């Protein structure tokens, strides 16, 4: 007799609207959803918008989906377009701004179960 053990896998589905903030951007905190050590920000920003200078104790990976973003990572300035991936190392100050004429859509992946941000500029 062969004993076959079947594991039941249950997927979690989260609607973007459930994560959205008033500014159209959405935050997914991995620890809250059983996703382990990954969190991300689903960015939707108008021209000229972007976060002020900050850093994290972990790496952050930016995937540009639509529009144009100008990143400052340490002393480097990078203009990124759809399909570009920018990686910001841990503990390196960074920021970005939507530098294009239309909406910026990107996914910002944080290598952590929740966000840990040290803001380096005043609001």
What's the pLDDT tens digit per position in 69-83? 999 999 999 999 999
pLDDT of residue 50: 96
Choice among 17-26, 52-61, 113-122 with the minimum mean pLDDT: 17-26
10 Å CB burial of residue 82 (0-12, 13-18, 19+) is middle
Instruction: Output b/e per residue, 36-61; b: 16+ Cβ within 10 A.
Output: eeebbbbbbbeeebbbeeebbebebe
Residue 42 and residue 19 in contact, taking contact as beta carbons nearer than 8 Å = yes
Average pLDDT, rounded, for the chain: 92
For the domain covering 16-119, report its CATH number.
2.60.120.10
What's the pLDDT tens digit per position in 22-52? 778 899 999 988 888 999 999 999 999 999 9
């Amino acid at each position: 007799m062969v004993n076959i053990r079947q594991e039941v896998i249950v997927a979690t589905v989260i609607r973007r609207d459930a994560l959205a903030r008033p500014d159209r951007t959405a935050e997914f905190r991995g620890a809250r959803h059983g996703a382990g050590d990954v969190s991300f920000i689903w960015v939707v920003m108008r021209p000229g918008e972007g976060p002020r200078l900050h850093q994290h104790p972990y790496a952050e990976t930016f995937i540009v989906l639509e529009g144009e973003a100008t990143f400052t990572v340490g002393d480097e300035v990078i203009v990124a377009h759809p399909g570009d991936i920018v990686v910001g190392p841990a503990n390196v100050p960074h920021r970005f701004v939507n530098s294009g004429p239309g909406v910026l859509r990107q996914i910002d992946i944080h290598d952590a179960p929740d966000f840990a941000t040290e803001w380096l500029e005043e609001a």
